Amino acid sequence: GLPPVIAVDGPSGVGKGLVTRWLAERLGFHRLDSGALYRILALAGHRRDIDLHRGEQLAALAARLSIRFVGTTEDDEAILVDGEDWTHDVRKESTGALASLIATQPPVRAALLQQQRDFREAPGLIADGRDMGTIVFPDARLKIFMDASADERAQRRHKQLSAKGIEARIATLREEIRARDERDRNRPIAPLKPADGAQVVDTTGLPPAAVLEKIEALLQRSR
């Protein structure tokens, strides 16, 4: 059969990166950062002056990009696109906003579907995104949906960006995150929502260690 998948979905800044990196390390599985694919495609389109509402053109571009993910931790991560280091720009909140714009378009989602499924390799995959459990890997062995209050997510994202040397005002960030989530939750295709059978984990007020304890408990119960 196909290698097992664990799907981790949720809104921006909720801690999916922490959880999926930890799970990948813990189980020795591969990891898919599906949001990065949307970010890269949005940035590539923007840099080539493609109108970001032209889904078909973006889909054609997606097929031509060569993307490599290097490193496994947040600190040693590098994102190479056609051999160039795009890590810093891919992580900006403005790129997240462009990503959520293009992510509403069916041709874009269709173009990225197989690319995402290609990450499913032995011994298994931890998939991080918005529609991992609902659309991309509906047969995932374990589906986790993480959530947290918008204020807390804005604060976490702020900390994370400043650690990477990316400046952002917290009030602006909160507003950007709110707008992006609203778009992700309300779009007609592949909206952000818990998959059937997903385990919902609310991490509001929880330090990272407590979040990982909850995830470990879910892992044990799913065996």
Q: Does 103 bind ligand C5P (CB under 6 A)?
A: yes
Q: Does 195 bind ligand C5P (CB under 6 A)?
A: no
By rule CB under 6 A, what string of x and - marks binding of each residue 122-161 to ligand C5P?
Answer: -------xxx------------------------------
Q: Please, where are the H alpha helices in 5-33?
A: 16-27
Bridge partner list, 126:
6, 31
Q: Does 100 bind ligand C5P (CB under 6 A)?
A: yes
15/129 with CB nearer ligand C5P:
129
110/217 with CB nearer ligand C5P:
110
Q: Burial letters for 199-222: b for 16+ Cβ neighbours within 10 Å, e otherwise?
A: bebebeebeeeebbebbeebeeee
Q: Which of 4, 18, 21, 34 binds ligand C5P (CB under 6 A)?
A: 34
Q: Which of 96, 137, 148, 199 binds ligand C5P (CB under 6 A)?
A: 96
Which of 135, 144, 129, 171 lies closest to 12 in space, CA to CA?
129
Q: Does 14 bind ligand C5P (CB under 6 A)?
A: no
Stretch (H or E) spanning 147 = strand 142-147
What is d(CA 25, CA 170) in angstroms, rounded to the nearest whole number?
Answer: 31
Report the first-to-last Cα separation within the chain, whole angstroms: 17
Q: Binders of ligand C5P: how many residues, by CB under 6 A?
A: 15
What is d(CA 112, CA 114) in angstroms, rounded to the nearest whole number?
Answer: 6
105/199 with CB nearer ligand C5P:
105
Phi and psi at residue 128, to the nearest 5°: -110, 125
The CA–CA distances, whole Å, from 202 to 15, 61, 112, 153 equal 11, 37, 29, 12
Torsion of CA 9, 2, 70, 85, to 10 degrees: -70
Nearest distance, CB of residue 223 and ligand C5P, angstroms: 26
100/203 with CB nearer ligand C5P:
100
Nearest distance, CB of residue 99 and ligand C5P, angstroms: 4
Q: Does 15 bind ligand C5P (CB under 6 A)?
A: no
Q: Which of 4, 5, 12, 211 binds ligand C5P (CB under 6 A)?
A: 12
Helix, strand, or coil here: 46?
A: helix
Q: Does 105 bind ligand C5P (CB under 6 A)?
A: no
159/213 with CB nearer ligand C5P:
159
Binding interface with ligand C5P (CB under 6 A): 12, 34-36, 38-39, 96, 99-100, 103, 129-131, 180, 184
